[in-house]
Chain A
Amino acid sequence: MNASTVTRRGVAVLGMALLLASCSGTTKDSAGQGPAPQATGAANPAAPVKTGLKMTFLPKQVNNPYFTVVQQGGEKAAGELQAEFKATGPSDASASSQVTYINTAAQQRQDALIMAANDENAVAPALKTARQQGMKVVTLDSDVATDARDVFINQADSRDIAVKQVELISQAVGGSGEIAILSATANATNQNTWIEIMKQELAKPEHAGLKLVEIAYGNDDDQVSFQKTQGLLQAHPQLKGIVSPTTVGLAAAGRYLSSSEYKGKVALTGLGTPNQMRAYVKDGTVGSFALWEPNKLGYLGVQAATALASGRITGAPGEKFTAGELGEYTIGAEGEVVLGPPTVFDAANIDRFDF
């Protein structure tokens, strides 16, 4: 068989494939959507809380400090509820790496899975199969397709976060003056959502004294954020405060301010972790900043999983459940539960947190 024969046969095969495909094809337009997801069964709020429930916590990846704190909260709730709680997961945060662990949890007949998804779609088929076998699925931090889980625990409502940051910067600069925002990347969805709501807040009469002069982007890179902070202060000599709604930006800005002539003169606030910001709070660079508490996220996740596995809730909007020391929660649209307003950290309380 010479080369031209190979080519001719190849072309013939391809031609046949094209012909076949043009006769009957499954295209994006012709593909129907599956049946809409529905909460199964009816909730019985009076059902007894089951003990001895077996639960698996599946973080985005193991050995991630943030999820270690989430896990500690989960362990606390599991202790209170007398549930068996274990954490497992992949060492990389790729889209499909969690699927093996979902299938394993199903094989181990776990009552509930509490997970933060690496990819909203890649894990969905495995979750759906596991749910058909009776496993309850609670997502937290990062959601999956709504028909692949029972409840999603959202760490914070976007509006709560944005409003809190305007409140903090207003307090820090005494209600009036020029302020700037140091964000992550220009196309980060969550950052832009917050900034948009912050602008709406700033337009309200009670914030008339505050003037947003620039939005800088540090690309969530320590060095770039550091330089952008420097640039903001040089470009705006009257600047009174900086809001950085990203942990990388806030820490970098704190480092620059603490070692510059602006320390104590230009206010800084935003979203950060207590461990990163402790030094700057103690040396007076930063008065207060905010973030949700990851351990409460894990705590609420286990509480919701227990309520689901006990039949007290099904994940339908409007259902209520009590979550131990966090009090009562109501399930919102599409099975979403919001942890609550962000926690504010300052010199008075920062030593109580370790994450």
Chain B
Amino acid sequence: MARLLRWESVLVLLLVAVAVVGSVRTGGTFLSGGNLFYLGLDIAEIALIALPLTLVVVSGEIDLSVASVLGLSSALVGTLWNAGWALELILPVAVLAGALCGALNGLLVTRLGLPSLAVTIGTLALYRGLALVLLGDTAVADFPASFTQFGNTPIPGTRIPYPILLFALLAVGFAVLLHHSSFGRSTFAIGANPEAAWFSGIRVKRVKLILFVLTGAVAAVAGIVYTLRFSSARADNGNGLELAVVAAVLLGGVSIFGGKGTLGGVIAGVLLLGGLRNLLILDDVSTEVLTVVTGALLLAGVLIPRLLGSRYFPAGRKT
């Protein structure tokens, strides 16, 4: 019974409600293959970044620089493309640059003991600034169709966008990492009580550093997806996206204080936010109402589990 009342179950119920209301309100368009394809594309970057960020938040830290890493990755792709580099080389270099951004975040947090909130607010500005140094307000758009089609066309014979396939593969990887590995158990332990974790032999700094590096790398991957999806490399790509990702992670039931959360809940949270937004736009609800509804849903997501008490909503496992 307690399992049924978990916050993740509530999210799934809400998802079903959105799907039902959506198909009734829009005469079936909401659940049509075409619309679900665009819905998948729409949430691709948020969904990708939410995966590693879930682990970061479970470990008791936060990374607000993710959208800036996305922008820096996009600007780097554009700059190197203009310089005549091959895309096959540019893409791994961009991911490596994202990992380096993550490493800088991680080193500042673990080696200097600075709070991740302050560090990543700083690097949020730093990485976006570097992106602007690279590209300024110009856009690079002349990427070959053989690459941009990965961002815009479904996998042949299906209605599944390529970025969602990438997300599914990474989601399996991160789910195994968080919920079925000793690394994941260490992550929960660190988030629950870093000192206890350290005394029980967990290399707290090492785990956190790896998590930041992973987040930077995946944010850079999201930057590549974004660039190819819009055929447009720009320094301001993904501006403000960090709030959407953090919102999805919190709605997914991950505790901002660390130690609690599930990847399944976060994925449900991403789908719920994306699905609701898609439904409201499709139903011609005005942008103002859209913003209000999203904000209210997030508040509910953080408030309800807390109001009802952890007895009914033990949001995720505590290991």
Contact = CB atoms under 8 A, between A and B. Distances in A.
Interface of A: 14, 17-18, 20-22, 24-29, 31-32, 34, 62-63, 86, 88-92, 94-96, 99-101, 103-104, 106-108, 119-126, 129, 145
B86 A21 contact: yes
Nearest to A145: B141
Contact of A24 (B34, B82, B88, B288): B88
Most chain-A Cβ atoms within 10 A of its Cβ — which of B32, B141, B282, B287? B287
A119 B42 CA distance: 18
Contact of B38 (A20, A62, A103, A123): A103
Contacts of A126: 152
Contact of B87 (A25, A63, A120): A25
A90 B149 CA distance: 25
Contacts of A120: 141
A95 B230 contact: yes
Contacts of B231: 121-122, 124-125
A34 B146 CA distance: 10
12 contacts: A17-B93, A25-B89, A27-B84, A62-B286, A95-B230, A96-B230, A99-B230, A121-B231, A123-B230, A124-B231, A125-B148, A126-B152
Contacts of A62: 286-288
A104 B230 contact: no
A124 B10 CA distance: 39
Interface residues of B, number: 48
Contact of B139 (A26, A29, A119, A129): A119
Interface of B: 29, 32, 34-35, 38, 41-42, 81-82, 84-89, 92-93, 96, 139, 141-148, 151-152, 226, 229-232, 234, 236-237, 239-240, 277-278, 281-282, 284, 286-288, 291
A155 B86 CA distance: 40
A94 B239 contact: yes
Contacts of B152: 125-126, 129
B286 A121 contact: no
Nearest to A94: B239
Contacts of B286: 62, 88
Nearest to A62: B287
Contacts of B88: 20-21, 24-26
Given A14-B96, A34-B145, A27 B87 contact: yes
A9 B96 CA distance: 13
Contacts of A17: 89, 92-93
